[in-house]
Every structure is written in structure tokens, then in C-alpha cells.
A and B are shown apart, each in its own frame.
Chain A
Amino acid sequence: MPRPPIRSAPRAPFRATAPALPALAAALAAPLLIAACSQTLKLAKDDSPLVLAHQTIAAPNPADAGPFKVLRLYYGPGTDKQRSEFRDSVKLKTRPVDISPFATVQPAQVNDRKKYWGFDMKKVPLNGRVWYPEGDGPFPLVLVVHGNHNPRDYSDPGYGYLGELLASRGFILVSVDENFINGLSGENDGRAWLLLKHLQEWKRFNDSTGSPFHHRVDLDNIAIMGHSRGGEAVGHAAAFNRLKYFPDDAKQKFDFGFNIRAVVAIAPVDGQYRPSSQLVPVENVNYLLLHGSHDGDVSTFVGLRTYERLRFTDGKPWFKAAIYMYRANHGQWNTVWNNKDNGPRSGRSLDLRALIAPEEQRQFGKLVISAFLETTLHGKREYLPMFRDHRTAGAWFPKTMYVTRFEEHGYRPLAEFDEDVDLTTGTARGVTIADDSLATWKENVLPFRGRGTDDQRNNGVWIGWNNRIAGTDTTKYGKPASYAITLPDTLAGAWRVSDQSALYLSLAPTKDKPGTRAEAKDTTKKDSTKADSAKKKPAPKPKPPPKKKEEADTIPLDLTVELVDAAGNAARLPLSRFGAVRRPLETRIYRRQGRDETRFQNIFELVLQTYVLPLADFAKAAPQFQPGRLKTIRLLFDRTYLGTVVLDDVGISPAMNPAFRAGELP
């Protein structure tokens, strides 16, 4: 039907709208201009020139290439649809395995994944990229596995720098391909299980006469390394390796039992898979944990939980170490991932200017991983001191700041603050704790910097002090506050504490500043206020002074460690003698102004520094002090008049391996 003419009605007068456009555009742009400011680069003051000023380990740099010629090969089923090296270049054939009990694909992804990879979870390949030394061996075997990343941006080639180094130093390094399970969730048990299936293949390679690795693999010395989700998976693999059944389903029988002597976790996650709904217990392996302060993916040092859980129960000489590297990120440990912690557009959200150069981050990785493996698999004890105190290798470490944790198998806890809610008791039976003039004394769980309820699952004690006396006289100080842990009379003897023993404590200053100390009451004076209170009006309260803007605390923090024997002989040494005592390392990951404050509850991660204090050093400082009769460990806050520290893991290693104590600093 024809429409009646629509233009018969009078038209409204035309309104000029063009001039409104610039105004509208300006209105839209204004908030952008205001909000677009990225924050200025803020980094903690670098003390590395001082801290890393010495090199007391005389051995060759473990990050330098070794004497072996490096060879490379690939193994796998040889049917890979996407990668020619795993299709055309495999020298050793493996059979696919069924990972479906451990890793499942969402139904919506099944077809896409199968189309891309050419297989489903029932037939995943055991693909490996191998760097190995030329020679008869046998050579220790090291497996490294990547973590979660874009499955099509293959992660396994990214550890080639470690492969080249370690193979030249007499290790077989295998970078395990698990790209095909990237992008899944709840698959971390599968990552671990795959690693162990690779080890089974390596046993076969070693046993097969036609294999290039026939009797060349030292299966008594195996290490597994993992990055990110792979870093959690190596913990599961270490646990599965000892189990007869998959914890979540006994239909899946395990029969691994490999001699995994060392585990390296690089920027790991924790608890994505929980066997039997528990965080995985790890025990009786050497363990090295690395994490970067500027990790834009796993932004909390969550691997510390695995570190804390790791127990040494079989009396063998295991040790564990954790190193928190300032300005390191998540991806630069892998040459494929690099500085894209938040994906291809990381530069929009992350402040990439804050990152240490990728070469330096990887140099650090080469250094500590190589030293760890040389120590644990090749038995080279000369590198042990750098795990106790990284300052012994100051010339080797890239110039940035490090916070380190350390514990060897001989450590016995005196006070770990987890066992009860009594502030005055320690962990070991009979240990008592007392304070003198502290402003803060409380035990609590150590937090992570992230918002939410996640924490380190580990308690510590907060100790705050302010030696200044309240009042107008700013030069008036009371006696230094202190915190004392007292051993029962028989404990030093029972543990065979001697001058070969070492005291452990882990500590981190915080930014909390307690108020001034109240003046001690003079009880000899008459209390005049009682009699006159009815007559006199109370004096008006003085106005509080205007609050000053908080300035950066530049006073270096230190304290004295005082050891007292049963005879009352005391020996005192500053804590800074045994390691850097730093306030928290300010870490701003994001580019947007204020984003770190929004996303994190703190702009620092509370990472405790482990100090290992040889008792011999105290005996040397005060010859009358008898380590074998150790009675009291006192932290004396006499070197900085106010501050707060968090303390944990106070204990003694009665007979520490002398190799750890070598390389004493001047």
C-alpha cells in the first residue's frame, strides 16, 4: 500500500549541531587526559653495590659454559601436526599416553583442540627437546617443564639457554612439551604425571641398547624443574613419585620411584591442584625456589608455602633455598614468554621499565640453577655457601637486590610460632619467650601482598619497639627493648650444640613505627591528682601537632643478636653481619598511577630473610661464651631506636655441614 506523503508536515527549524561536537569531544577527552598519567618509575633504593661487594667462593662461575660439547635431539611419537621438529626430527620414538584421568578439556574446547593438535587427551605425546653432553656419561638427568601460556605460542623452546649451559656442564636437560594442556584448568596433577611418564621413557632410553643414551643416563641423580604452573607440578611430581596410587582415585596406580634428588620451582603457583584436598606435602628432596618481585602474573611469592611445607625426615643431607629477586618478572625466565606477563599487551598494564634486563634475569637463573644442580647432582660442595648467604658470590649475581631463605636438614626449630597461641612458649619443648619494653608483641599469619584471604599459611611474630621516651625531650631514650628466647637447661646438651652449630632466624623489617615509650612511673611520688581531682578542673589537653607527611624512612635498620650461656656469659654481634637487613622492597608492578595500591594490600611482599649465624662467630667475639651451654637468644633493639620486625623460624642446626659455612665474608 502506498504510504501517504511524509513530508507534508512542517519541519522543525534546523538546529546547528556541528559546534557541539568539539565540545563533546573535549568533554570526553578531559577525563582521559586527567586519568592517563602513568606513574613515575619508583624503585627501592639499590644496595647491591654494598651487599654484593664480595666474592669469597673461589670456584669457577657456575653460569659459565662447561667443557662438554653440546648435542641436541628431539624425541616423541613423531606425528606432531604443528611442529616439524616433533614430526620430522625425532630420533627416539615414544608412545602416546592417556592423560585423561588427570586433565580434562571443557566440552566446548574438545573439537577445536583435537582439530589443532590432532589428538585428544587419551593420546597425548611424550615430546622432549633435549640438550646433552657429548661423552659416555652417565650424566645426571634434568627435566624442565613450562607453565601455562598461549598453547599455540610454544613454551618449551624457551629454556634453551639453560639447556646449552647445563649440557656443557655435563647434564642432560630435557625441555618437556606440555603445550597441549595449556589453557586448561585443574590440570596440574596431569602436568606432574606427564613429567613422571617422561622419566619412565628415560629409563627405557637408558636401558635400550640401540638408544644413543644407552647407559649414559645417571638415573640416580635426577632433577625436575618447573616454571609457573610447572613450578607447582614439580612438587606434585615429587610427591606422586613416592605414591602407589593417585590420591584422588586409587584406580590410577603409580609405579615411579625415581631418584629425584633435586626440585627447582621457578615463579610457581601453589594449590591449583590439591591432592585429597590438601596442599601437596613435599619431603626429602633438595629444593630451590626462585621468584621475581615484579612478577606480573603470579604476583605473590606463593611458592613460599611449598618451601615452608617441605620437610626433611630421613636424615639425609638435603637443603632448601628460596631467592626473591628484585625487578625480576614472571616471563623472562623463558625466552619465549619474556616480558609479556599479562599477554601480548602487557605494556598497557605493567610497568616494563621496572624490569631488570632479560639477559640479567636469565643470567641469575643460570647461576643459581647451575650451582644448585652442580651441588645436588654432581656433588660439588663449593657452591653450597651461596645458598646460605648469597653475598659469598657477590661478583656472580646480577646487580640487584635479593632476599633469600635457606634451611638444611640439620635445622631444629626452637620457635616457629605455629604450634599454639601462647606468646611465651616456643616450638621445642621447654622453650620460653619473654620481652622487655616492646611496643608490639603478637603472633600472626604472614600475609601475602595480594588482597583477599590468601596468606603464607605460616605464622610469625611481630616485634615492635620504640626506645624513645614520650615527652618533649626528643633526646631521652630508655633502655633498649629486647625479645628473648630461652632454652631449657638440658636442650643445648641434648641437641649437642657446639661451636660447630649455627643459629637460624628469619626476619624482615616492616614499615610499622610504634609510638614513643611511656615514661616509667615514679612510685615514690605522692599521687596529688587523687586528692585534688574533685577541686581542680583537668588541664586542657594540648593540641596535637599537625601530622607531617610521612617521609621515606632512611635510617638503616639493624639490631644486635645476643647469645647468653648458662653461666651468664654473653656474646653480641650485629645481625647485619650475617646478611642485609632491609625494609620491605617497594614494588610497583603496574603502569597506572595508584593501581598497585588498589590491587594489593601492600606495595611490598613480606619475604623474610634467613640469617645463619655460626655460633663459632660468637665464641670468637666473646671467648668466655660457651656455645655448648647456650641458654638465651636475645634480639636487642639497640641499633635502631624504633621499628618493627617480623620473626620466624628461629632454630639451631647443631652440626651444620662445614661446606655451607665456607666462604666467610671479611
Chain B
Amino acid sequence: MRTSLIGALLVVTSAVHAQAPDAAPLALLLPASTRATALGNAWVAGRDEYVLFYNPAQLVAGSGFGVSVGRYASGNTMATLATAATVGPTTLGWGVQAVEFRTSAGTPYPFTPDVLATRGAVEAHSFVVVAGGAMTYKGFRAGLAGKYAEDLISATPSAGVAVAGTVGARTAGTSGVRRGTFLADVGLAHALWVGTAGLSVQNIGRGEKSGTSRIAAPLQTSLAWAAQRQAGQLDLGFASQVTVRDKWVAPGAGIEVGYGWIEGLSVALRVGARRTETGAERPVAVGATVNVDRLQLDYALQSFEGARSAHRLTVRWR
């Protein structure tokens, strides 16, 4: 039933706007958590440290420390980490997501996530650093985050990158391109039925400056609902959200099923679907988690057009 609903949403919303509007930096367009990757990137109502990249209101202090690494079949690499702590009535957290990749000369800019699935000769980096906090007031959780995001394309005399934007194309040439911007996110969350509803407005800011004009940051609003339930010996999770960016509407949802047979050992499988930024990204992703006492391994598999893929792994020690 839920799968049908998700499918229907995908069909309906596909008619609104064919492709995600141009936005940069690239790091803001990538799933920020391994778990979320396999849940349709629907993490605005999720609950962990990585939610800081989605909805600061849902920030929760986790125990221990973990790092997430994404490796694309192309050899491009992404790393994410986030942590949070409770300070008085607030939860404060910070996180960073960085991707290092080589792209081909002539790849249009702003980059889209599928650029990571191929490997070229031009070195590029993109990262976002975010810090935020959340607190509860009368049953509502509210959060605020500030972040800095940047794309960096190295100087490569022999190869150029077509840079699009309001100023038209130009090449990186000998001096390279560095584009950064300060942005803000705000979020709300509240218990709703058996789960949690979340609302976030992300990437509020002026976007990156490109010459005399700007390339828009991916200003977007997301409405989400997520829930976790125990069903006998199984742990069931459901996450869903709808993101609106300009006139582009992107639904996403995922389910997970967890099972533990003895204290300290458990597994979870998850699958999610979403409307992707480009047609080159496959909408469905899968993932799994293995917990062995204090060690937690999260894995997600994301696919791209042409049977290309990306593996993502989070190792966490609690």
C-alpha cells in the first residue's frame, strides 16, 4: 500500500517540474547520512546527529563517535561526520560533509550529484560545514543551523570546466574556481500520531557569488513524517518527506525492518525511493545495518544510470 502510494507520488510530482533547478554547492545536494541514503533521503523527521544536515530541530545527542564514508565506483570519495551533545536545555551539534572528486572537462556547472559517478581529469572538492542547536518548547522542537558550503575546482591548464550560471559559461582556466556561501536552516518537529512530523527550510541565503551575479543555493522546504514501531520481535521504521525547491517537488520515503536475536547483536534492512536530482540517479536505494555491541556498521547502495553505483558505509563506535 505504502509502496503504491510512494509510486503514485513519484508519478504525480514528476509532472510538476522535470528536473531539479540548478543549485550549488554540490555538497548540499547529496544525502548526508548512510541511513538516510537508503530511506529515500527522507530524514527531515529522522532522529540522530546526521539530521543536522536535514532538520536541526531533530538533533539528538548520540553516544560515541562515527564517520561515514561514501565511495563511488568511479573512485570519487565522500566523507561525512556529525556529532551532538546536550548542553543544558539545548542540544548542540556540528557536522561536516566533504566530497573529493575528479570530473571531466566540459562538465557543466553547477554540478549535479551524478557527476560523482564518473571520473575525469579535473580535481574538484565540495564541502559543507554545519553547526546548530535544538530545544523543546511546549512539545515542539525547534532548531536552527548555520552552515558554510563551498565548491572548489582546481586549476587545470589542460582541461576546462564549463561553468554555467547567470553569467554564462566560462572555464576554470589557470586560476581554478572557488565558490562558497553562508547559509542557514530552520526546523520544527512535533509528535504526530505514532510518529514525528518535521518541517525544515534549508539553505536560506544569498547563494554563491559568480562574478557579478549569483548561483542560487538549493533553498528548499521539506515536510516530513517518520515513525518507529515494534512489531513483535521486529523493529519497523518508516520515513517520508516531500521537498519543494522552486517548482520542483521531490517526494521520498523508505522503510526499514530491524531484528535482534540476542542482546547487542542486531541487523536492519532498509529500502527507499525518492525523486532524484537528475535522471541519471536511480530512485531506489537499499541499505543495511549491523550492530555488534558498541560497533555499528551502516551500509547503503545507491545506483546510477548505466549500472554504476556508490557504496556508503558509516562506522560508529558507541
Contacts and interface: CB of A to CB of B under 8 A. Distances in A.
A4 B166 CA distance: 12
A9 B120 contact: yes
Contact of A12 (B119, B139, B162, B297): B119
B311 A11 contact: no
B20 to A, nearest CB: 9
Contact of B263 (A9, A108, A591): A591
B308 interface: yes
Interface stretch (B37-45, B104-112, B142-150, B203-211): B104-112
A548 interface: no
A7 B117 CA distance: 12
Contacts of A452: none
Contact of A14 (B267, B293, B308): B308
Interface in A345-386: 345, 348-349
Given A3-B19, A6-B115, A9-B105, A24 B299 contact: yes
A3 B292 contact: no
A255 B107 CA distance: 86
A31 interface: yes
B60 to A, nearest CB: 15
Number of contact residues on B: which range applies?
A: 35 or more
A36 interface: yes
B105 A591 contact: no
B262 A4 contact: no
Contacts of A591: 262-263
B262 A11 contact: no
Interface string A604-618: 000000000000000
Contact of A28 (B114, B118, B120, B299): B299
A592 interface: yes
Nearest to A31: B292
Given A17-B73, A348-B261, A591-B262, A1 B233 contact: no
A240 B114 CA distance: 72
Nearest to A592: B263
B22 A1 contact: yes
A14 B262 contact: no
Contact of A4 (B108, B119, B292): B108
A15 interface: yes
Given A9-B103, A31-B292, A36 B166 contact: no
Nearest to B289: A28
A345 B108 contact: no
A349 B265 CA distance: 10
Interface string B93-129: 0000000000111111000101101111000000000
Contact of A6 (B230, B267, B278): B278
Contacts of B263: 348-349, 590-592, 595
Contacts of B293: 35
A666 interface: no
Contacts, number: 98
A6 B162 CA distance: 10
A590 B265 CA distance: 14
Given A28-B288, A595-B263, A15 B118 contact: no
A517 to B, nearest CB: 45
A32 interface: yes
Contacts of A595: 263-264
A15 B73 contact: yes
Contacts of A592: 262-264
Contacts of B288: 28
A348 B262 contact: yes
B192 interface: no
Nearest to A12: B119
Nearest to A9: B104
B306 interface: yes
Contacts of A8: 106-108
Interface string A577-618: 000000000000011100100000000000000000000000
A6 B74 contact: no
Contacts of B73: 12, 14-15, 17
B290 interface: yes
Contact of B108 (A3, A15, A108, A348): A3
Given A36-B265, A38-B262, A348-B260, A17 B311 contact: yes
Given A12-B120, A17-B73, A36 B162 contact: no
Given A9-B106, A10-B120, A28-B297, A36 B164 contact: no
A345 B309 contact: no
B311 A3 contact: no
Interface in A30-50: 31-32, 35-36, 38
Nearest to B191: A112
A417 B83 CA distance: 51
A36 B306 contact: no
Given A28-B288, A348-B261, A592-B263, A10 B104 contact: yes
A35 B292 contact: yes
A315 interface: no
A210 interface: no
Nearest to B288: A28
A344 interface: yes
A540 interface: no
Contact of A11 (B261, B264, B306): B306
Interface in A79-109: 108
A392 B309 CA distance: 75
Contact of A31 (B103, B233, B295): B295
A9 B307 contact: no
A3 B232 CA distance: 50
A5 interface: yes
B57 to A, nearest CB: 16
B169 interface: yes
Contacts of B103: 9
B108 A5 contact: yes
The listed residue with most A CB atoms (<10 A of its CB), out of B22, B114, B169, B309, is B309
Interface in B246-261: 260-261
B154 to A, nearest CB: 16
B290 A32 contact: yes
Contact of B118 (A12, A36, A111): A12
A9 B117 CA distance: 12
Interface string B61-73: 0000000000001
Contacts of B265: 32, 35-36
B169 A6 contact: no
B122 to A, nearest CB: 9
Contacts of B105: 9
Given A5-B108, A6-B107, A590-B263, A11 B292 contact: no
A38 B169 CA distance: 64
Contacts of A35: 264-265, 292-293
A37 B263 CA distance: 11
A35 B265 CA distance: 8
Interface string B206-225: 00000000000000000000
Nearest to B290: A28
A3 B164 contact: yes
A38 B103 CA distance: 50
Nearest to A112: B191
A20 B299 CA distance: 13
A561 B42 CA distance: 74
A9 B121 CA distance: 10
Contacts of A3: 19, 22, 108, 112, 164
Which 8 pairs, one residue from A and one from B, show the smallest C-beta to C-beta distance?
Answer: A9-B104, A12-B119, A349-B263, A4-B108, A15-B73, A12-B118, A12-B74, A9-B107
15 contacts: A1-B164, A6-B107, A6-B278, A9-B103, A9-B107, A10-B120, A11-B118, A12-B74, A14-B307, A24-B299, A24-B311, A35-B292, A348-B262, A348-B263, A349-B262
Interface of A: 1, 3-12, 14-15, 17, 20-21, 24, 28-29, 31-32, 35-36, 38, 108, 111, 344-345, 348-349, 590-592, 595
Given A11-B118, A12-B73, A24-B299, 8 more contacts: A1-B166, A3-B112, A9-B104, A24-B311, A28-B290, A35-B265, A108-B139, A592-B262
